């Protein structure tokens, strides 16, 4: 097929133990999926249906990496998240069959321009400028699902310059992986290459150029992200 200019390269993340890479199609993110984080953001953590926002596929950046401090913000926040990689397409997936569609898992950081998000909330506008900017989804290499011990329990943590800021268990999710992926599949057809960032626990905060973020989900993956200059 001919294009009017060269097609952009396929966004991808490495796979642990394999030379082949995981091609990224879309990135879905679950909002407010840990009760304590919902409270720290001023929201009620009752079990309302999960809601989602997206990042472009090329926001994914394999770790370890350096992320430039983005423009238009003075309040860049970290949010550590379990990442689920989809390997089979489907719609209206039964929660009991969700694992049939999961290819693997990893850990990532949902970088957020918090000041832009606060402005968008106040004005009733979409969160795109706050969430979907360049290099806003650094993700560790993906672990095939056969090597993942659990998607329902395990410590999730993040540190900045060696100081732990977020420390919880993925079992604390309001909506489990099975539940929120099933809900997502009612709205869109999930496809091979989709990534789902499953929400962040309490403790989010700001980082500055020169800060080093480390974090992980025990038994699955760890990452390191350096915040570069503006």
The answer to whether the bond into 169 is cis (omega within 30° of 0) is: no
Flag whether 65 is in a domain.
yes
**CB atoms inside a 10 Å sphere around CB 16:** 14
Give me the pLDDT at residue 38, please. 63
Residue 74 exposed, middle or buried by CB count within 10 Å (0-12, 13-18, 19+): exposed
Q: Quickly list DSSP for 109-155.
A: E--EEHHHHHHHHHHT--SHHHHSSTT-EEEPPBEEGGG---SS--E
- For residue 170, tell me if it sits in a domain: yes
Residue 184's CATH number: 3.90.850.10
- Is 174 a domain residue? yes
**Number of domain units in the chain:** 1
Average pLDDT, 10 consecutive residues per value, the chain (230 residues)? 94 97 98 76 70 96 98 98 98 98 98 97 94 98 97 98 97 94 97 97 96 98 97
* Boundaries of domain holding 150: 12-228
Residue 1 domain-assigned (yes or no): no
Q: Looking at the whole model, is its pTM more than 0.85?
A: yes
Instruction: Tell me what pLDDT residue 144 has.
Output: 98
Q: Would 6 be classed as within a structural domain? A: no
Alpha-carbon distance of 26 to 58, in angstroms, equals 9
**Spatial contact of 222 and 109, defined as CB atoms under 8 Å apart:** no
In a domain, 3, yes or no: no
Euclidean distance between the first and final Cα of the chain, in Å? 38
**2 domain-assigned:** no
Q: Do the domain assignments include residue 157?
A: yes
Q: Is the dihedral of CA 187, 193, 194, 196 positive or negative?
A: positive
């Amino acid at each position: 097929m001919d294009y009017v200019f060269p097609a952009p390269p396929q966004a991808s993340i490495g796979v642990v133990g394999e030379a082949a890479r995981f091609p990224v199609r879309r990135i879905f993110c679950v909002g407010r999926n840990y009760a304590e984080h919902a409270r720290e953001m001023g929201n009620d953590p009752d079990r309302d249906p999960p809601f989602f926002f997206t990042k472009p596929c090329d926001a994914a950046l394999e770790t370890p990496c350096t992320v430039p401090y983005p423009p238009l913000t003075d309040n860049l926040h970290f949010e550590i998240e379990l990442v689920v990689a989809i390997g089979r397409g489907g719609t209206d997936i039964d929660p009991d069959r969700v694992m049939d569609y999961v290819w693997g898992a990893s850990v990532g950081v949902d970088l957020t321009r918090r000041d832009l998000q606060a402005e968008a909330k106040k004005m009733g506008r979409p969160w795109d400028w706050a969430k979907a900017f360049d290099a806003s989804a650094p993700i560790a290499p993906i672990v095939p699902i056969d090597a993942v011990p659990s998607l329902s329990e395990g410590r999730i943590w993040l540190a900045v310059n060696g100081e732990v800021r977020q420390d919880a268990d993925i079992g604390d999710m309001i909506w489990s992986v099975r539940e929120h992926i099933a809900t997502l599949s009612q709205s869109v057809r999930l496809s091979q290459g989709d990534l789902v960032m499953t929400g962040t626990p309490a403790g989010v905060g700001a980082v500055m150029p020169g800060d080093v973020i480390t974090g992980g989900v025990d038994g699955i993956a760890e990452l390191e992200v350096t915040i570069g200059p503006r």
